[in-house]
Amino acid sequence: MLKGSCLCGGVAYRVDAPVNDASHCYCTMCRKQHGAAAGAYANVPSAGFALERGADLVAEYASSEHGRRAFCRTCGSTLYWRSEAEPDVISVTLGTLDPDYDGPVEREIYTDTKPRWLPTA
């Protein structure tokens, strides 16, 4: 089981399912939402995801015709992303996991929009 929370602690969630397909996404929407070079996510089955506290603080923004991004109304922490085309999957943000995510990041996506200012390895 994994747990996660937002910056202010008002929202807490748990994941009772395997985490898979961890990624760094460099699409412009993830970059803008996170205010960073990439969004970091891992997929979990929707059936294994549950809000434990603060459901009333969670807002969703329809960032495209099929994608919805959830965040805390109080502190703005990005919590997860979900696609209406794949209702069985939720992509939780790795930075909200308690303790830190220690698994591998398996892929990078939308590398064609990776920012030029990001240092290369």
Tens digits of per-residue pLDDT, 22-81? 999 999 999 999 999 999 999 999 999 999 999 999 999 999 888 999 999 999 999 999
What the chain holds in terms of domains, given with CATH numbers, is: 2-113 (2.170.150.70)
pLDDT bucket at 121, cuts 50 / 70 / 90 = low
Q: What pLDDT was estimated at residue 118? A: 84
Q: Could you give the dihedral angle defined by the CA atoms of residues 13, 6, 104 and 1, in that order, rounded to the nearest 10 degrees?
A: -20
Strands in 107-109's sheet, in edge-to-edge order, are 58-62, 67-72, 78-83, 89-93, 39-45, 20-25, 107-109
What's this model's pTM, rounded to 2 decimal places?
0.88
CA–chain centroid gap for 83, Å, is: 12
